[in-house]
């Protein structure tokens, strides 16, 4: 049986996207793809792009993989890996047109802030791996973390903030659907690599 779950032969060097995908197309990466709602919507809405879903939980990846097979999508790959390692080690320089990072763990307790995905090092890796005018789309339900993300992105001086992308209901993640049902505010941001 075909699978979209990709296992690199080498976990230390940048991937060759030509070996990962059947067709060479612009690359978009969904970090923390969860149950795949956004990833599957985007892959169908933009068949002229290739998509990589990054997730640590194998059970989630297998469920998303089953959906990919049912839909017959050939422009999606899934990889089980920690996000910052993936971006820093496996993503080739200037090869990504968009990152989608929806509801990253806010690690709200101050003593856990060092575990947050967004920090100066990670933002530097985003800059290195994004193509010119590449974008980073972020969604969070945590106001404090959202403020932190905006600050660390601005501090890099390599991004300009632009109005966030408007997504249809079917593109919303399960997290977002739950938060909106609970009347919780959701914060969106879009950053464009400025050089």
Place of tokens 């403020």: 147
Are 136 and 101 in contact by the 8 Å Cβ rule? The answer is yes
Are 87 and 94 in contact by the 8 Å Cβ rule? The answer is no
Give the C-alpha distances (Å, rounded to integers) separating 30 from 38, 110, 112, 182, 195: 8, 27, 24, 25, 22
Q: Is position 144 annotated as part of the catalytic site?
A: no
Q: Which of 16, 30, 65, 105 is catalytic?
A: 105
Are 31 and 100 in contact by the 8 Å Cβ rule? The answer is yes
Instruction: State how far Cα 46 lies from the chain centre.
Output: 15
CA 131, CA 114: separation in Å to the nearest integer? 28
Residue whose C-alpha is closest to residue 187's, from 117, 137, 136, 135: 137
CA 84, CA 107: separation in Å to the nearest integer? 15
Which residue numbers are catalytic?
105
């Amino acid at each position: 049986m075909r699978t979209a779950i990709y296992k690199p032969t080498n976990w230390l060097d940048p991937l060759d996207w030509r070996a990962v995908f059947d067709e060479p197309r612009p690359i978009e990466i969904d970090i923390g793809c969860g149950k795949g709602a956004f990833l599957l919507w985007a892959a169908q809405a933009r068949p002229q792009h290739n998509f990589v879903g990054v997730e640590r939980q194998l059970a989630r990846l297998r469920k998303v993989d089953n959906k990919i097979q049912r839909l017959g999508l050939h422009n999606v790959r899934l990889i089980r890996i920690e996000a910052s390692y993936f971006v820093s080690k496996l993503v080739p320089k200037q090869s990504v047109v968009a990152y989608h990072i929806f509801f990253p763990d806010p690690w709200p307790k101050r003593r856990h802030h060092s575990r947050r995905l967004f920090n100066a090092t990670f933002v530097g890796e985003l800059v290195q791996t994004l193509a010119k005018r590449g974008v980073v789309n972020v969604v969070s339900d945590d106001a404090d973390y959202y403020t932190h993300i905006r600050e660390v992105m601005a501090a890099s001086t390599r991004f300009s903030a632009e109005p966030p992308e408007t997504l249809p209901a079917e593109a919303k993640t399960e997290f977002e659907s739950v938060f909106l049902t609970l009347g919780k505010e959701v914060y969106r941001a879009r950053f464009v690599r400025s050089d």
